[in-house]
Amino acid sequence: MHPVAVAFARVTYLLAMGNLAERPGQLTIPVYLGDSVQWNQEENLLTADALSIDTSSSPATLFAEPLRFPRGLLDDPSNFDRLVTEMADRATTSKTGSKLPSLVATFKRYHVAEDDQPMLLETFRTMCALHATGRDHIWGYFTRNLARPVWHARPENRVDALIGNPPWLSYRFMPPEMQVSFRKMTTERAMWAGAAVATNQDLSALFAVRATELYLRAGGRFGFVMPLATLSRKQFAGFRDGEFRPPAEHTYLAFAEPWDLHAIKPSIFPVPPCVVFGTRASSPLPLSGQGRQWSGRVPQHNASWAEAAPGLTIGDDPAAATATGERSPYADDFGQGATVVPRLLFLVEDAPAGPLGAPPARRTLRSRRSANEKPPWKTLAAQTGTVEDRFVFPLHMGETIAPFRLQDPLEAVFPWSGTEFIARDRLDEFPGLAKWWRAAESVWMEHRSSERLSLVEQLDYRRKFTAQMPAPAHRVVYAASGMYLAATRIDDPRVVIEKSLYWAEVSGADEGRYLTAILNSDSFTLFVRRFQARGEHNPRHFDKYVFDIPFPRFAPDDELHRQLAAAAEHAEVVSAGVELPASSFQAQRRKIREALLAEGVATTLDELVALLLEGVAATDDPPTVPSPAA
């Protein structure tokens, strides 16, 4: 939270109190900028007899004595705040080498017990020393803000209700030190969801649990504004369980019905939100997928309730489905394509070869440029060169596939012999490749964002290139994102598949058609949509959520499976016959879907897929198939 937000909150608190002249005595505004999570501080801030505040900022700090305050002073937080403020102010009046200012009157004014005074005098001495070195300006403020969370965490001071908007911060954006603490604390609480979704794990869940275990009394209630992913995504599965067992104290949450707010427009946040409610209980009650769905349009951001209410409706629609049950057996078969990034260094197109033409078995090439390139690559000059034919591979990406149809592939240069990457000491056996690849490596080394990976290691990150080699005779691919799924078959063993596609080997054309029949059906897309994370507008990313619908493996002797394969074969013929406009791939996909619908193939596919999914993708309301979209 920004300190300015604290200032606004304090002013809001004052305005809510009304006429201050009618309130006698000292006034303390209980709004603080504190470390609510208490990152690894609970064991070193509060000792048996004192609150201890570390003043060292590095091992080289001259004054590393802590500020120590008798623990009993925390029993009266308002009195403690005023005492700390006065001590900090008095420290600024001391002069180097002079006698310490007296605190006799201060101790009397704040009723400091005689036994507590020696500790406070040592703390005051440290404050004066900090002032003498120019490090005095925040210690009173810092101490008060650290002390209040510690005070609230004592069992006798826990509150009846917690309401808030925890910080939404993905693991991948945390500083390294925070990542270490986050993983330790979530592992202790059975919230760490594993490497597969590690980068998407979010601080909001840990914050909510930590705030509840520290500050909420038994039986107390909570309400937190959270990312919508909390209701369904795997990275929040440990949070939804409601059972947390850190070393100090077990915590159980009994969740109530959540609110799904994603359908309110304009969007409240850049990421769709929800609200979770519950009670700190003696046993857990997991967070259910059933919730209250808010929808409608408000006239403006920051509208009052009176302005917003007329445009809103609240229904009992189910919240987003939870992808934690049985999966399709195909889930482990499909993998993501290779990381062909930056495209400037890999993707190519033919360039003029000059009056003498290209040497035999070589092609004159230049980098294929795109409006979608990102900095710094978009500002760099294109590569040019003459490269041996054998190192120019057809490449399929999301933009080159459509339902039941392959578009013309792009082309890319890869230092691949057919069985392995060409070693650096062998590059000169292929002069054209050597010149191209060394130039590409030089650009990569100069502009890469991390020093961790070489260009080959980037291309083969997590073996996503070599896993494709040698390529099988029959593969199925589908686009990782889009409004609707798009899938097709690939029979060319030289084709390399890029990371915007997922692929799997299949036994033959029939199994491939069975899969594309399922993946291309509109009804299947709508089933999968229940499992997708949502952006500001519509869900876009399919990734491997498609396998959270547990459709079965192809069985050649199953009549329904054969019917699906036959329908897909018909769809391939229809798709191949569509004359596509020279426009975006999204518009081309839409044109094909319209043709499939007009020929009746789309309806047949939806009916067959509905039969296949009976009992394995049950939903309260069967999906209604809308008009074709990209």
pLDDT in tens, 311-369: 999 987 544 444 445 789 999 999 999 999 999 999 999 999 878 778 889 999 999 99
pLDDT of residue 182: 93
CA-closest candidate to residue 143, choices 215, 64, 86: 86
Question: Contact 477/396 with Cβ under 8 angstroms?
Answer: yes
| Backbone angles phi and psi of 160, in degrees to 5 | -80, -25
pLDDT digit string, tens, across residues 127-161: 888 888 776 567 777 787 777 788 888 889 899 99
Question: Contact 568/589 with Cβ under 8 angstroms?
Answer: no
pLDDT of residue 411: 98
- 627: how many CB neighbours lie within 10 A of its CB? 9
pLDDT digit string, tens, across residues 528-559: 876 666 555 556 778 888 998 899 999 999 99
When mean pLDDT is compared across 211-225, 228-242, 425-439, 523-537, the lowest value belongs to: 523-537
CA-closest candidate to residue 2, choices 143, 167, 156: 167
**Residue written as tokens 């120590």?**
68
pLDDT of residue 532: 65
When mean pLDDT is compared across 37-46, 206-215, 267-276, 422-431, the lowest value belongs to: 37-46
Is residue 289 very low, low, confident or very high in pLDDT (cuts 50, 70, 90)? low
What is the distance between the alpha carbons of residues 466 and 415, in angstroms, rounded to a whole number? 12
pLDDT of residue 40: 58
What is the distance between the alpha carbons of residues 629 and 416, in angstroms, rounded to a whole number? 38
**Residue range 387-405: mean pLDDT, rounded:** 97
Q: Which amino acid is at 154?
A: R
Residue 459 gets the label, from left (phi > 0), alpha (psi -120 to 50) or beta, of alpha
For the CA atoms of 189, 191, 195, 198, what is the dihedral angle to 10 degrees?
-120
- Non-local (6+) Cβ contacts of 579 within 8 A are none
Query: Which residues, in sequence order, are bridge partners of residue 416?
Result: 421
Structure tokens at 173: 């954006």
Residue 56 above 50 pLDDT? yes
Buried/exposed 432-447: b ≥16 CB within 10 Å, e otherwise? bbbbbbeebbebbeee
**Cα–Cα distance list, 584 to 121, 398, 519 (Å):** 74, 12, 21
- Non-local (6+) Cβ contacts of 523 within 8 A are 605, 606, 609, 610, 613, 623, 625
pLDDT of residue 626: 43
Specify the DSSP element, H or E, that contains 123.
Answer: helix 117-132
| Structural domain boundaries in the chain | 1-31, 40-157, 159-324, 335-612
How many helices (H) and strands (E) the chain has is answered by 17, 22
Specify the DSSP element, H or E, that contains 489.
Answer: strand 487-490
pLDDT of residue 324: 46
| Backbone angles phi and psi of 484, in degrees to 5 | -130, 150
CA-closest candidate to residue 485, choices 304, 606, 356: 606
Is residue 47 very low, low, confident or very high in pLDDT (cuts 50, 70, 90)? low
Specify the DSSP element, H or E, that contains 38.
Answer: none
CA-closest candidate to residue 45, choices 150, 130, 117: 150
Is residue 623 very low, low, confident or very high in pLDDT (cuts 50, 70, 90)? very low
| Backbone angles phi and psi of 281, in degrees to 5 | -125, 175
Give 335: exposed, middle or buried? Use CB within 10 Å, 0-12, 13-18, 19+.
Answer: middle
SS3 letters across 303-359: CCHHHHHHHEEEECCECCCCCCCCCCHHHHCCEECECCCCHHHCEEEECCCCCCCCC
Q: How far apart are the first and last CA of the chain?
A: 41
Q: Tell me, rounded to whole angstroms, the distance of Cα 18 from its chain centroid.
A: 42
pLDDT digit string, tens, across residues 73-82: 888 888 888 8
Grouping H, G, I as helix, E, B as strand and the rest as coil, residue 411 is strand
What pTM does this model have?
0.62
